[in-house]
Amino acid sequence: MNAFGPAESNRVINRAPSPLVARALPWLVIMAGSVAQGMPLIASAPVMPPFGFLLLLAWRQLRPGVLPVWAGLPLGLFDDCYSGQPMGSGMLLWSAAMIGMDAIEIRFPWRSYVMEWLVAAAFILGYLLLAGGIAHVGGSIPVLNALVPQLIFSVLTFPLVERFVAACDRARLWRFRAFT
């Protein structure tokens, strides 16, 4: 027995990972991130990192096969319901991010951790700028000074989000009692 569940040696025989949990958990974690990002504080400025989007990036980087390319559409729709952005901005940007991550993976199959972080930082920068631009169509004042602290905070939070996703990824394959 180690910290992450039963080790190979003393595995109980009628326990198996549930395919439902293994498939649904990434989606549920990202959706929970979308709902939770507005709750910890009632903010008067955009200060929280976009946790839903960070979780999407982290899952995509750590477990490339687990989310299909089109996952940006439903997850972005869900995020739009809670983020306060105009409806459709998440659907568009999250879909574009999934396609972009796929292109980067094909172009650079072998990546170091620093490069993964830089890629994620570039995606976060693009996402925040574009989302800010979309939210501000028809507005008069560019609000870059509100975005810079959020960007720095998001990029610095990303490794922690990856840690969290790694922990969820272990939980994804938890062994439950199998009825067969």
Partner 1 sequence: MAPPNTRRTGFSKRAQYGTFFGYVAALAGALVGGGVLLVSLLDHDAFSGVRGLAADVAAPAGSAVAAGRSGVQDAGATLYGWLTWGTTNKRMAQELELARVRLAEARAVSEENTRLKAMLGLRDALGPGNPKPVAEARLIQSSATSLRRFATISAGSDDRVAVGMPVRSPLGLVGRVLEVSRSTARVLLVTDPESLVPVRRARDGLPAFAQGKGDGSLQIKLINLGVNPLKPGDVFVTSGAGGLYRPGIAVGVVTQLSRDGAVAKVLSDPTASEFVSIEQVFAVAAGMPEALTPYQPPVPERKK
- 117 touches partner 1 by CB under 8 A: no
Interface stretch with partner 1, choices 13-21, 101-109, 160-168, 169-177 (CB under 8 A): 101-109
Return the residues of window 32-91 that contact partner 1 according to CB under 8 A: 35, 37-51, 64-65, 68-70, 72-73, 76, 78, 80-91
C-alpha–C-alpha distance, residues 92 and 77, integer Å: 9
- 114 touches partner 1 by CB under 8 A: no
C-alpha–C-alpha distance, residues 154 and 50, integer Å: 7
Q: Which residues contact residue 141 at a Cβ distance below 8 angstroms, ignoring those fewer than 6 apart?
A: none
Three-state secondary-structure class, residue 5 = strand
- 164 touches partner 1 by CB under 8 A: no
Question: In 3D, which of 89, 91, 77, 99 has the Cα closest to residue 31?
Answer: 77
- 99 touches partner 1 by CB under 8 A: yes
Write down the least CB distance from residue 95 to partner 1, Å. Answer: 4
Name the burial class of residue 27, with classes exposed (0-12), middle (13-18) and buried (19+) by CB atoms within 10 angstroms of its CB.
middle
- Residues in the site for partner 1, rule: CB under 8 A? 35, 37-51, 64-65, 68-70, 72-73, 76, 78, 80-96, 98-99, 102, 105-106, 109-110, 131-132, 134-141, 143, 145-147, 150
